[in-house]
Chain A
């Protein structure tokens, strides 16, 4: 009988030994590169020995990453003598970063950190000071960042985190959407007033109260309004910027403390009172909203421009036999009466994400040299657009002269482009210090956003919304996580999201206003004023230091 137990134990032991075999790391190559010391077609000086580093890129599907970086990795190793190991995880990156810190096990480069997180890594002496390395080895970084360089420095004038996805990209985000035919009918306006938009949608709904399947239609709907972005967009239609109103002294007021806040709430409430608002707007997700929109149960929508494109046009094109090219939506600006300018799409040019080099890096200067290349226009193109000169490539590069591949370009314009194939060239995979603003030759990182004037509908979109885009960098202020104010901000945001959705769905305008006023009192009591003060303070500091 002891036999059984010992057998059992032996079995356990055996399994654990078999299973415990660990993977081994491949050593970096020892052979010098044949082109060592020469500058290649992309303006990169090939190092003698392979430059290898790993970097953590947050939450992504590792199988996709493996698939999509394969070609680019081969290309980089051959032409650049560079080997990058992109590490991703599938759990919350915040959690994973904490585990990395706790276990002292992390790669040489980490991206996707918030400025507050950079501070944390710096304080633990795990992020290294890049100031001197940049001064010595990275002229391009200095040149490209230019005057904005100082925005990334800490209190002591040192730079620890480089920006990722930074720069001013003049492509709109948010808009009001109306069907193309209606847009033509009313004379192709760039902007529509909120009142007009209401009347128009109401009229369309009255004309077609049920869709082709006999389901009830709604004048206005939104996707995921529960997250609260809709109020900031609407506040923009009332002339506020990113949900804040600025007075002549630079003091910031949250939209809930402004008369415009009441107006926009009542505006949405008007749809509700007349039974025109999709009741699921506050509880749906994108799939559920897509179902409503693609079944033509909704006439208007306020949200990101690509919502009406992805959930409308792209579905109809493929499923509706009678589909015609004009059967799509147009994105236009939305402006309240009496307002000079609507501000719908705030742009944060310093980016919300930072990249650090950690103390695990043996030769930070070599990594910095590569990042310096990545900052150059050619580097930015290569990492954004993927490997050139291949069958599936979107661009070609011969001895420093680059061109678009006409066939791919036309596919992009006609909406026939095969994105999955394109991904195999490693497009955007190594977004370590991606610059998404306009490069010197007026191209940008997002390869599919480069022909906006050639695709008709995109041209309309850009033309209509050009003026609603604004640089919001100075006011893009987030409370650092470890600040007790962050807890208050979270509580207040929750209160607002709950409260306004109730006000919007009130049965009468009076009721809506009452709920709004009560809510205003409640959030101010919960400390909204402190947040306004904090943001005003930081904003004024930035005005002084960053200009």
Chain B
């Protein structure tokens, strides 16, 4: 019985999804105002995209320029003295590939566990008749404001044996109150009746979560997955603090290293020492190339997720 019902609702979901898409595309007749708006919007978006894109193109141009020459500045969208040296330096580094692998592993493990766990939490705090709803929400929202700071957290991780392990990347990030609220705000929009009927059919909560809620909430799960994946990919501070052994260095750390190098010199008091360190500093072209290398892979997460943003889910039928 339970089986049949959830299958039914799932089918409805699928069908109406298609219907919804076709409806959205099929504008019968457009007004003039609407047409003008389309043109204006297009121009606006082209301008917007260029503002967002140019600095990145500039970094790419820099990364393809000769190091000494680049110091003279004046490079905008095209390299002046073309050179692949920066990339050669980067690809000669064998550790980089390992870092890339660890980054991917971190993104996959961190995102899958984080989204599933936080999603479950978001579902629970959205079950309208659940007596612990408010309690659970408050329990997590409170942690958004209060935290013990670096030292107690560091000591805790030491005690749990998390230092210099891969676990430190995903276990402390399983549940996020911010993502919980965002997901809950979406789930809240879904009709309660479908869950109720599943429950009456004897569906367990976990099954409702996995088989009904997740398929119905694909857009928000996709969005949170992007947030989480990019967050895991970009984070470097926890790597440096909790995994100083270097064994679990992620790709991002290689970029940070170059940036922190510059920062560290400003702390040096002995001028002769500072001079000898300046010698050793990597040129801006290498910094640019590393930025490109570190950024490019993760950028493609978004286009991948975008296809799940096409929703148009309807469950009106169940309600009636």
Direct contact of A and B (CB under 8 A): yes
Report the separation of the CA atoms of residues A264 and B170 in the bound assembly, to the nearest whole angstrom. Answer: 56
Determine the chain A residues whose CB is within 8 A of the CB of B275 once the complex forms. Answer: 304, 306
Do the beta carbons of A295 and B241 come within 8 Å of each other? no
Task: For B68, give its contact among A18, A63, A98, A319 (CB under 8 Å).
Answer: A319
Chain B minimum-CB-distance residue to A171: B272
A310 proximity list for chain B (CB < 8 A): 278
Q: Which of A8-16, A148-156, A386-394 contacts B (4 or more CB under 8 A)?
A: A8-16
Given contacts A91-B241, A287-B71, 10 further A-B contacts (CB under 8 A): A1-B204, A20-B161, A20-B167, A22-B161, A23-B245, A59-B267, A90-B240, A95-B150, A315-B68, A318-B69
Give min CB distance, A30 to chain B, whole Å.
25
B72 x A59 contact (CB < 8 A): no
Nearest neighbor of B158 in chain A, beta-carbon distance: A103
Contact of A8 among B73, B116, B245, B246 (CB under 8 A): B116
With contact pairs A20-B167, A103-B158 given, residues A446 and B210 touching in the complex (Cβ less than 8 Å): no
Is B171 interfacial (CB 8 A cutoff)? yes
For the complex, is B85 an interface residue (Cβ under 8 Å from A)? no
Report A2 CB to chain B, min CB distance, Å: 7
- A61 at interface (Cβ–Cβ under 8 A)? yes
Complex: how many Å from CA A7 to CA B204? 16
Interface residues of A (CB under 8 A from B): 1-2, 4-5, 8, 12, 15-16, 18-23, 59-64, 89-91, 95, 98-99, 102-103, 105, 165, 169, 171, 173, 213, 227, 286-287, 290-291, 294-295, 304, 306, 310-311, 314-315, 318-319, 345, 351-353, 419, 423, 428, 436, 446, 448-449
Check if B256 is an interface residue, CB within 8 A of chain A: yes
Q: Once the chains bind, are A98 and B167 in contact (CB under 8 Å)?
A: no
A21: chain B residues at CB < 8 Å are: 165
Bound complex: CA A92 to CA B278 (Å): 18
Identify the closest chain A residue to B168 (Cβ): A19
* Contact A315:B271 (CB < 8 A) given known A22-B164, A428-B276: no
Interface string of B69-95 (1 = CB under 8 A from A): 101111000000100000000000001
In the complex, whether B244 has a CB less than 8 A from a CB of chain A is: yes
Contacts of B167 in A (CB 8 A): 15-16, 19-20
B246 near A62 with CB under 8 A, answer yes
Docked pose: A91 CA to B154 CA in angstroms = 14
In the bound complex, CA of A5 to CA of B120 (Å): 11
Distance (whole angstroms) from the CB of B300 to the closest CB of chain A: 25
Q: Given A15-B109, A16-B171, A291-B71, are A63 and B280 neighbors across the interface (CB < 8 Å)?
A: no
Cβ-defined contact, B68 with A4, below 8 A: no
Determine whether the beta carbon of B206 is less than 8 Å from that of A1. yes
A19 to B116, CA, bound (A): 20
User: Is B273 part of the binding interface, using a Cβ–Cβ cutoff of 8 Å?
Assistant: yes
Our pick among A23, A61, A95, A419 for the contact of B279 (Cβ within 8 Å) is: A419
For B161, what are the chain A residues with a Cβ–Cβ distance below 8 Å?
Answer: 20, 22
Complex CA distance for A389 and B207, rounded to whole angstroms: 72
Q: Name the CB-closest residue of A to B271.
A: A173
Binary CB contact string for chain B from 100 to 124 against chain A (1 if under 8 A, 0 otherwise): 0000000001000100100000000
Given contacts A90-B256, A310-B278, A352-B269, contact A99 B154 (CB under 8 A): yes
Query: Lowest 10 CB-CB distances: which A-B pairs, in order?
Result: A19-B166, A291-B73, A1-B207, A1-B204, A173-B271, A318-B68, A59-B264, A19-B167, A16-B167, A352-B269
Query: Which residues on B sit within 8 Å (CB–CB) of A291?
Result: 71-74
Q: Measured between alpha carbons, how far is A100 from B74 in the docked complex, in Å?
A: 45
Report Cα–Cα, A165/B284, bound state, in Å. 29
In the complex, are the beta carbons of A419 and B280 less than 8 A apart? yes
Complex A-B: 26 CB contacts under 8 Å: A8-B116, A16-B167, A16-B171, A20-B167, A22-B165, A59-B264, A60-B264, A63-B95, A63-B257, A91-B260, A95-B150, A102-B154, A102-B155, A103-B155, A213-B74, A227-B266, A286-B278, A287-B284, A291-B72, A295-B73, A318-B69, A319-B68, A319-B81, A345-B271, A351-B270, A423-B280
Highest count of chain B CB atoms <10 Å: which of A2, A90, A105: A90
Most chain A beta carbons < 10 A, residue from B116, B237, B273, B274: B273
Asked if B1 is at the interface of the complex by the 8 Å CB criterion, the answer is no
Give complex CA distance A306, B281 in Å.
Answer: 14
Picked from B72, B257, B278, the residue with its CB within 8 Å of the CB of A306 is B278
The count of residues in chain B whose C-beta lies closer than 8 Å to any C-beta of chain A is: 55
Partner of B204, one of A2, A18, A353, A448: A2
Minimum distance in angstroms from A350 CB to a CB of chain B = 12
Q: How far is the CA of A318 from the CA of B164 in the complex (A)?
A: 44
Q: Which residues of B contact A423 (CB under 8 A)?
A: 280
Residues of A within 8 A of B270 (CB): 165, 351-353, 436
Q: Which residues of A contact B21 (CB under 8 A)?
A: none
Residue of B71, B155, B166 near A311 (CB, 8 A) is B71
- Is residue B196 within 8 Å, beta carbon to beta carbon, of the partner chain? no
B247 at the binding interface (Cβ < 8 Å)? yes
Q: In the complex, how many angstroms separate the beta carbon of B312 from the nearest chain A beta carbon?
A: 28
Point out the residues of chain B lying under 8 angstroms from A290, CB to CB.
71
B201 contacts the other chain (Cβ, under 8 Å)? no
Query: Is residue B38 contacting chain A, with contact meaning CB distance below 8 A?
Result: no
Decide if B151 is an interface residue (CB 8 Å cutoff): yes
Q: Is B192 an interface residue (CB 8 A)?
A: no
- Least CB distance, A62 to chain B, in whole angstroms: 5
Residues of B within 8 A of A227 (CB): 266
By beta carbon, the residue of chain A nearest B112 is A11
For residue A89, which residues in chain B have a CB less than 8 angstroms away from its CB?
A: 240, 244
Residues of A within 8 A of B264 (CB): 59-60
The answer for the CA separation of A45 and B171 in the assembled complex, in Å, is 51
Q: Do A4 and B210 touch across chains, with their CB atoms under 8 A apart?
A: yes
Measured CB to CB, the nearest residue on chain A to B269 is A352
Report the separation of the CA atoms of residues A315 and B170 in the bound assembly, to the nearest whole angstrom. Answer: 46
With A213-B74, A287-B284: A99-B150 Cβ-Cβ less than 8 Å: yes
Chain A residues with CB under 8 A of B267 = 59
Chain A nearest CB from B199 CB (Å) reads 12
A259 to B72 Cα, complex, angstroms: 40
**Residue numbers in B under 8 Å from A295 (CB-CB):** 72-74
CA–CA, A171 to B246, complex, Å?
A: 37
CA distance A169 to B275 in the complex (A): 14
CB <8 Å contact, B71 and A294: yes
B72 to chain A, nearest CB (A): 5
A315–B280 contact, CB under 8 A?
A: no
A61 to B74, CA, bound (A): 30
- With beta carbons under 8 angstroms apart, the residue of B68, B207, B210, B261 that contacts A61 is B261
Bound-complex Cα distance A311 to B72 (A): 9
A8 proximity list for chain B (CB < 8 A): 116
Residue pair B240, A91 in contact (C-beta under 8 Å): yes
Partner of B113, one of A12, A22, A213, A436: A12
